[in-house]
Amino acid sequence: MAAKDEADTPDRALVDRWRDILALHARTQCELDRALHQHGLCASDFEVLDVLSEGPGADGSCAYRVQEISERVHLSQSALSRLVARLEKDGLVERALCTEDRRGVRVTLTDKGRALHGEVRPVQRAVLTRMLSPT
């Protein structure tokens, strides 16, 4: 039985580490949702605004395809499409057909979305600092 316990130790440590990562993610996500809620956003909403704000233009303007955003915010394409539709309804983003591929959709921040992102970014970064800084 001792040999089995010794063999399980590396696996156990690996599983424990994985569960610690999941727990940290869940706690951080909840804290982000709580902090951003007062601004009318959830963590996923902010992530989309944040990705769109990181564009190459001098003013941060950038249009990403929905597929490109989904790869960065780790949502399914259908969940992201619903989220983008909600952000568009709120006037925070705009959608337009891709000129190079009429089946694709590009998403950009509106002025309202850029302003809200700028207001909320310090809140999000403060939560990340508090939750993810080594203790």
pLDDT class for 60, splitting at 50, 70, 90? very low
The pLDDT tens digits of the residues spanning 63-77 come to 888 888 988 998 988
The confidence score (pLDDT) of residue 9 equals 82
- pLDDT at residue 7, as a whole number: 57
| Residue-level pLDDT at 97 | 76
pLDDT value at residue 58 = 40
CATH annotation of 2-132 = 1.10.10.10
Q: What is the pTM of this model?
A: 0.83
| Three-state SS sequence of the chain | CHHHHHHHHHHHHHHHHHHHHHHHHHHHHHHHHHHHHCCCCCHHHHHHHHHHHCCCCCCCCCCEEHHHHHHHHCCCHHHHHHHHHHHHHCCCEEEEECCCCCCCEEEEECHHHHHHHHHHHHHHHHHHHHHHCCC
Domain definitions of the chain by residue range: 2-132
Give the rounded percent of residues in the chain with a pLDDT score beyond 90: 64
